[in-house]
Copies of this chain bind each other. A is one copy, B any other.
Amino acid sequence: MAGVSTATVSRVLNEPERVSAKTRSRVEAAVAHFDYTPHFGGRALASNRTNTVGAVIPTMENAIFARGLQALQEALAETGVTLVVATSNYDPEREAQQIRALLGRGVDGFVLIGEARDPALYETLERRGVPFVLVWSWRPDCPWPCVGFDNRAAARAMAQRVLDLGHRRVAMIAGITRGNDRATARVKGVRDALTARGLGLDESNLIETPYQLEAGADAARRLLSATPRPTVIVCGNDVLAAGALMAIRSLGLNAPDDVSVTGFDDIDLALILDPPLTTVHVPHRRMGDAAARLLLRLRAQEDDTASVVFETGLVERGSLASVGT
Protein backbone atom coordinates (compact mmCIF):
# COMPACT_ATOMS: atom_id res chain seq x y z
CA MET A 1 0.00 0.00 0.00
CA ALA A 2 2.85 2.38 0.66
CA GLY A 3 4.27 1.39 -2.70
CA VAL A 4 7.56 0.17 -1.27
CA SER A 5 9.25 -3.17 -0.89
CA THR A 6 9.09 -5.31 2.21
CA ALA A 7 12.74 -4.51 2.82
CA THR A 8 11.92 -0.86 3.22
CA VAL A 9 9.13 -1.62 5.63
CA SER A 10 11.55 -3.69 7.64
CA ARG A 11 13.98 -0.79 7.73
CA VAL A 12 11.35 1.67 8.80
CA LEU A 13 10.56 -0.58 11.71
CA ASN A 14 14.09 -1.34 12.79
CA GLU A 15 16.35 1.47 11.61
CA PRO A 16 14.04 4.37 10.81
CA GLU A 17 16.93 6.79 10.39
CA ARG A 18 18.14 4.94 7.32
CA VAL A 19 14.98 5.72 5.38
CA SER A 20 14.05 9.05 3.86
CA ALA A 21 11.50 11.01 5.83
CA LYS A 22 9.02 10.91 2.97
CA THR A 23 8.96 7.16 2.46
CA ARG A 24 9.06 6.62 6.17
CA SER A 25 5.90 8.59 6.78
CA ARG A 26 4.13 6.75 3.94
CA VAL A 27 5.04 3.45 5.50
CA GLU A 28 4.09 4.59 8.97
CA ALA A 29 0.70 5.68 7.67
CA ALA A 30 0.12 2.26 6.17
CA VAL A 31 1.24 0.57 9.38
CA ALA A 32 -1.20 2.66 11.38
CA HIS A 33 -3.98 2.10 8.87
CA PHE A 34 -3.85 -1.69 8.95
CA ASP A 35 -2.69 -1.63 12.56
CA TYR A 36 0.04 -3.93 11.48
CA THR A 37 2.24 -5.74 13.95
CA PRO A 38 5.43 -7.48 12.87
CA HIS A 39 5.25 -11.24 13.18
CA PHE A 40 7.35 -12.34 16.09
CA GLY A 41 8.04 -15.77 14.65
CA GLY A 42 9.28 -14.46 11.36
CA ARG A 43 11.47 -12.00 13.13
CA ALA A 44 12.93 -14.58 15.47
CA LEU A 45 13.58 -16.91 12.57
CA ALA A 46 15.34 -14.37 10.42
CA SER A 47 17.35 -12.54 13.05
CA ASN A 48 17.87 -15.27 15.60
CA ARG A 49 17.12 -12.78 18.35
CA THR A 50 13.93 -12.39 20.28
CA ASN A 51 14.60 -9.51 22.65
CA THR A 52 12.94 -11.61 25.26
CA VAL A 53 14.25 -12.81 28.55
CA GLY A 54 12.69 -15.49 30.64
CA ALA A 55 12.35 -15.64 34.39
CA VAL A 56 11.52 -18.85 36.20
CA ILE A 57 10.33 -18.24 39.74
CA PRO A 58 8.89 -20.61 42.33
CA THR A 59 5.49 -18.95 42.53
CA MET A 60 3.80 -15.65 41.94
CA GLU A 61 1.90 -16.04 45.18
CA ASN A 62 4.85 -14.87 47.20
CA ALA A 63 5.00 -11.10 47.28
CA ILE A 64 8.78 -10.99 47.22
CA PHE A 65 8.98 -12.49 43.75
CA ALA A 66 6.12 -10.33 42.55
CA ARG A 67 8.00 -7.24 43.66
CA GLY A 68 11.29 -8.33 42.17
CA LEU A 69 9.64 -9.22 38.86
CA GLN A 70 7.90 -5.91 38.62
CA ALA A 71 11.22 -4.08 39.01
CA LEU A 72 12.94 -6.48 36.62
CA GLN A 73 10.28 -5.97 34.00
CA GLU A 74 10.37 -2.21 34.26
CA ALA A 75 14.12 -2.09 33.83
CA LEU A 76 14.03 -4.47 30.87
CA ALA A 77 11.17 -2.66 29.18
CA GLU A 78 13.26 0.51 29.06
CA THR A 79 15.52 -1.17 26.55
CA GLY A 80 12.74 -2.82 24.59
CA VAL A 81 13.20 -6.26 26.07
CA THR A 82 10.15 -8.31 26.99
CA LEU A 83 9.96 -10.47 30.07
CA VAL A 84 8.17 -13.79 30.10
CA VAL A 85 7.57 -15.48 33.39
CA ALA A 86 7.16 -19.13 34.24
CA THR A 87 6.68 -20.79 37.60
CA SER A 88 8.16 -23.95 39.04
CA ASN A 89 6.19 -24.28 42.24
CA TYR A 90 9.47 -24.93 44.10
CA ASP A 91 9.94 -28.16 42.11
CA PRO A 92 13.43 -28.56 40.58
CA GLU A 93 12.22 -30.86 37.80
CA ARG A 94 9.45 -28.52 36.89
CA GLU A 95 11.96 -25.70 36.83
CA ALA A 96 14.11 -27.62 34.37
CA GLN A 97 11.08 -28.21 32.12
CA GLN A 98 10.19 -24.56 32.19
CA ILE A 99 13.73 -23.52 31.33
CA ARG A 100 13.73 -25.86 28.35
CA ALA A 101 10.34 -24.61 27.25
CA LEU A 102 11.58 -21.04 27.35
CA LEU A 103 14.75 -22.01 25.49
CA GLY A 104 12.56 -23.39 22.75
CA ARG A 105 10.78 -20.10 22.62
CA GLY A 106 14.09 -18.52 21.87
CA VAL A 107 14.50 -16.37 24.95
CA ASP A 108 17.94 -14.86 24.83
CA GLY A 109 18.49 -14.44 28.52
CA PHE A 110 17.40 -15.93 31.82
CA VAL A 111 16.78 -14.80 35.33
CA LEU A 112 16.75 -17.74 37.70
CA ILE A 113 16.13 -17.93 41.40
CA GLY A 114 18.94 -19.30 43.51
CA GLU A 115 21.79 -21.54 42.60
CA ALA A 116 20.69 -25.09 43.34
CA ARG A 117 19.98 -26.95 40.13
CA ASP A 118 21.12 -29.85 38.00
CA PRO A 119 24.59 -29.16 36.51
CA ALA A 120 23.31 -30.47 33.19
CA LEU A 121 21.03 -27.46 33.04
CA TYR A 122 23.94 -25.07 33.45
CA GLU A 123 25.74 -26.95 30.69
CA THR A 124 22.79 -26.62 28.34
CA LEU A 125 22.60 -22.92 29.01
CA GLU A 126 26.30 -22.37 28.41
CA ARG A 127 26.38 -24.56 25.31
CA ARG A 128 23.59 -22.53 23.75
CA GLY A 129 25.29 -19.32 24.74
CA VAL A 130 22.25 -18.00 26.55
CA PRO A 131 23.30 -15.62 29.32
CA PHE A 132 21.69 -15.89 32.72
CA VAL A 133 21.69 -14.25 36.11
CA LEU A 134 20.99 -15.97 39.41
CA VAL A 135 19.08 -13.87 41.88
CA TRP A 136 18.08 -13.92 45.53
CA SER A 137 21.13 -15.87 46.40
CA TRP A 138 24.75 -15.03 46.81
CA ARG A 139 27.75 -16.65 48.39
CA PRO A 140 31.47 -16.06 48.19
CA ASP A 141 32.97 -17.68 45.07
CA CYS A 142 29.72 -18.44 43.32
CA PRO A 143 30.89 -19.42 39.82
CA TRP A 144 27.96 -17.80 38.04
CA PRO A 145 26.83 -14.23 37.72
CA CYS A 146 24.46 -13.52 40.54
CA VAL A 147 22.60 -10.69 42.16
CA GLY A 148 21.62 -11.41 45.69
CA PHE A 149 22.55 -11.40 49.31
CA ASP A 150 24.11 -13.76 51.79
CA ASN A 151 21.13 -15.63 53.18
CA ARG A 152 23.29 -17.52 55.62
CA ALA A 153 24.95 -14.47 57.10
CA ALA A 154 21.64 -12.65 57.39
CA ALA A 155 20.00 -15.56 59.20
CA ARG A 156 23.04 -15.87 61.43
CA ALA A 157 22.83 -12.21 62.38
CA MET A 158 19.18 -12.57 63.25
CA ALA A 159 19.82 -15.62 65.40
CA GLN A 160 22.68 -13.87 67.16
CA ARG A 161 20.39 -11.01 68.04
CA VAL A 162 17.86 -13.49 69.39
CA LEU A 163 20.53 -15.07 71.57
CA ASP A 164 21.77 -11.69 72.71
CA LEU A 165 18.29 -11.05 74.04
CA GLY A 166 18.69 -14.04 76.32
CA HIS A 167 16.76 -16.69 74.42
CA ARG A 168 18.00 -20.24 74.88
CA ARG A 169 15.03 -22.37 73.82
CA VAL A 170 15.06 -21.52 70.12
CA ALA A 171 12.79 -23.19 67.57
CA MET A 172 12.71 -22.66 63.83
CA ILE A 173 10.11 -22.95 61.08
CA ALA A 174 12.00 -23.19 57.82
CA GLY A 175 10.90 -23.43 54.20
CA ILE A 176 11.37 -26.73 52.38
CA THR A 177 15.12 -26.98 51.89
CA ARG A 178 15.19 -29.53 49.06
CA GLY A 179 16.27 -27.78 45.91
CA ASN A 180 16.11 -24.43 47.69
CA ASP A 181 19.49 -23.01 48.58
CA ARG A 182 17.98 -19.92 50.21
CA ALA A 183 15.95 -21.97 52.66
CA THR A 184 18.95 -24.20 53.26
CA ALA A 185 21.28 -21.27 53.89
CA ARG A 186 18.86 -19.72 56.35
CA VAL A 187 18.76 -22.88 58.42
CA LYS A 188 22.55 -23.05 58.32
CA GLY A 189 22.85 -19.47 59.46
CA VAL A 190 20.66 -20.08 62.47
CA ARG A 191 22.65 -23.23 63.25
CA ASP A 192 25.90 -21.27 63.00
CA ALA A 193 24.81 -18.84 65.67
CA LEU A 194 23.44 -21.51 67.98
CA THR A 195 26.50 -23.70 67.68
CA ALA A 196 28.78 -20.79 68.44
CA ARG A 197 27.08 -20.53 71.82
CA GLY A 198 27.02 -24.22 72.49
CA LEU A 199 23.38 -24.67 71.58
CA GLY A 200 21.76 -26.87 68.95
CA LEU A 201 18.70 -27.11 66.79
CA ASP A 202 17.51 -30.67 67.09
CA GLU A 203 14.79 -32.33 65.09
CA SER A 204 12.05 -31.47 67.53
CA ASN A 205 12.83 -27.78 67.27
CA LEU A 206 13.04 -27.49 63.51
CA ILE A 207 10.11 -27.91 61.16
CA GLU A 208 10.34 -27.61 57.40
CA THR A 209 7.14 -26.63 55.72
CA PRO A 210 5.89 -24.89 52.55
CA TYR A 211 5.96 -21.10 52.60
CA GLN A 212 2.26 -20.77 53.36
CA LEU A 213 0.28 -19.09 56.05
CA GLU A 214 -1.61 -22.14 57.28
CA ALA A 215 1.49 -24.29 57.17
CA GLY A 216 3.29 -21.79 59.36
CA ALA A 217 0.42 -21.80 61.83
CA ASP A 218 0.37 -25.61 62.00
CA ALA A 219 4.10 -25.78 62.54
CA ALA A 220 3.94 -23.21 65.31
CA ARG A 221 1.21 -25.14 67.07
CA ARG A 222 3.36 -28.25 67.01
CA LEU A 223 6.44 -26.44 68.29
CA LEU A 224 4.49 -24.78 71.07
CA SER A 225 3.06 -28.05 72.34
CA ALA A 226 6.49 -29.02 73.69
CA THR A 227 7.33 -28.60 77.37
CA PRO A 228 9.05 -26.46 78.17
CA ARG A 229 7.97 -24.55 75.12
CA PRO A 230 10.41 -22.46 73.07
CA THR A 231 10.75 -18.80 73.99
CA VAL A 232 11.24 -17.78 70.39
CA ILE A 233 10.31 -19.07 66.95
CA VAL A 234 12.66 -18.03 64.17
CA CYS A 235 10.88 -18.24 60.80
CA GLY A 236 12.27 -18.76 57.30
CA ASN A 237 10.12 -15.95 55.91
CA ASP A 238 7.49 -13.42 56.87
CA VAL A 239 4.55 -15.51 55.70
CA LEU A 240 5.52 -18.34 58.01
CA ALA A 241 5.97 -15.81 60.80
CA ALA A 242 2.49 -14.43 60.18
CA GLY A 243 1.15 -17.96 60.46
CA ALA A 244 3.05 -18.44 63.70
CA LEU A 245 1.58 -15.25 65.14
CA MET A 246 -1.90 -16.45 64.19
CA ALA A 247 -1.29 -19.73 65.96
CA ILE A 248 0.05 -18.00 69.04
CA ARG A 249 -3.06 -15.88 69.24
CA SER A 250 -5.34 -18.86 68.70
CA LEU A 251 -3.62 -20.69 71.57
CA GLY A 252 -4.44 -17.82 73.88
CA LEU A 253 -0.79 -16.87 74.15
CA ASN A 254 0.70 -13.47 73.58
CA ALA A 255 3.60 -12.37 71.41
CA PRO A 256 6.16 -11.32 72.40
CA ASP A 257 5.40 -11.81 76.09
CA ASP A 258 4.98 -15.58 75.93
CA VAL A 259 6.79 -16.30 72.67
CA SER A 260 8.85 -14.11 70.39
CA VAL A 261 8.71 -14.47 66.61
CA THR A 262 11.05 -13.35 63.84
CA GLY A 263 10.58 -13.27 60.09
CA PHE A 264 12.65 -12.84 56.95
CA ASP A 265 12.07 -10.64 53.85
CA ASP A 266 10.36 -7.58 55.28
CA ILE A 267 7.32 -7.53 53.04
CA ASP A 268 4.42 -5.14 53.68
CA LEU A 269 2.83 -7.80 55.80
CA ALA A 270 5.51 -7.40 58.45
CA LEU A 271 4.34 -3.90 59.20
CA ILE A 272 0.68 -4.81 59.38
CA LEU A 273 1.03 -7.62 61.84
CA ASP A 274 0.26 -7.13 65.48
CA PRO A 275 2.81 -7.07 66.98
CA PRO A 276 4.74 -5.76 63.97
CA LEU A 277 7.35 -8.24 62.87
CA THR A 278 11.03 -8.15 63.64
CA THR A 279 12.55 -9.35 60.41
CA VAL A 280 15.43 -9.20 57.95
CA HIS A 281 15.03 -6.47 55.39
CA VAL A 282 15.78 -7.58 51.83
CA PRO A 283 15.83 -5.01 49.00
CA HIS A 284 13.70 -7.01 46.55
CA ARG A 285 13.03 -4.19 44.14
CA ARG A 286 16.63 -3.11 43.93
CA MET A 287 17.68 -6.70 43.33
CA GLY A 288 15.24 -7.00 40.45
CA ASP A 289 16.56 -3.81 39.00
CA ALA A 290 20.20 -4.83 39.40
CA ALA A 291 19.48 -8.25 37.89
CA ALA A 292 18.04 -6.60 34.79
CA ARG A 293 21.08 -4.39 34.38
CA LEU A 294 23.53 -7.22 34.84
CA LEU A 295 21.68 -9.38 32.35
CA LEU A 296 21.64 -6.57 29.80
CA ARG A 297 25.40 -6.18 30.24
CA LEU A 298 25.91 -9.89 29.73
CA ARG A 299 23.80 -9.86 26.58
CA ALA A 300 25.79 -6.94 25.26
CA GLN A 301 29.01 -8.85 25.96
CA GLU A 302 30.24 -6.01 28.10
CA ASP A 303 33.20 -6.39 30.40
CA ASP A 304 31.69 -5.26 33.65
CA THR A 305 29.69 -8.34 34.49
CA ALA A 306 30.61 -8.85 38.12
CA SER A 307 28.11 -10.28 40.54
CA VAL A 308 26.27 -7.88 42.80
CA VAL A 309 25.81 -8.46 46.48
CA PHE A 310 23.33 -6.54 48.58
CA GLU A 311 23.42 -5.86 52.26
CA THR A 312 20.50 -6.93 54.37
CA GLY A 313 19.42 -5.24 57.55
CA LEU A 314 17.84 -6.35 60.76
CA VAL A 315 14.57 -4.50 61.34
CA GLU A 316 13.53 -4.59 64.96
CA ARG A 317 9.85 -4.19 65.59
CA GLY A 318 7.66 -5.56 68.31
CA SER A 319 7.55 -9.31 67.78
CA LEU A 320 10.94 -10.04 69.35
CA ALA A 321 11.56 -9.19 72.98
CA SER A 322 14.20 -10.15 75.46
CA VAL A 323 13.43 -13.33 77.33
CA GLY A 324 11.60 -13.12 80.61
CA THR A 325 10.34 -9.58 80.32
Contact = CB atoms under 8 A, between A and B. Distances in A.
A272 B249 CA distance: 10
Contact of A45 (B38, B42, B86, B245): B42
Interface string A30-61: 00000101111111110000100000000111
Nearest to A65: B60
A85 B85 contact: yes
B44 A242 contact: no
Nearest to A239: B268
B124 A35 contact: yes
Given A41-B42, A271-B246, A66 B70 contact: no
> How many copies altogether?
2
A84 interface: yes
A309 interface: no
A247 to B, nearest CB: 11
Interface string A227-258: 00000000000000010011001000000000
A38 B213 CA distance: 40
Interface string A250-285: 000000000000000000110111100000000000
Contact of A40 (B37, B85, B104): B104
A81 to B, nearest CB: 11
A272 B242 contact: yes
B106 A41 contact: yes
A202 to B, nearest CB: 30
A59 B63 CA distance: 11
A37 B125 CA distance: 12
A271 B250 CA distance: 12
Contacts of A199: none
A222 interface: no
Nearest to A59: B70
Contact of A44 (B40, B63, B82, B84): B40
Interface in A141-193: none
A63 B269 CA distance: 12
A266 to B, nearest CB: 13
Question: Sorted from nearest, which 6 A-B pairs have the closest CB atoms?
Answer: A41-B44, A37-B104, A60-B66, A274-B274, A40-B105, A41-B45
Interface of A: 35, 37-45, 50, 59-61, 63, 66-67, 69-70, 73, 82, 84-87, 100-101, 103-106, 124, 213, 242, 245-246, 249, 268-269, 271-274
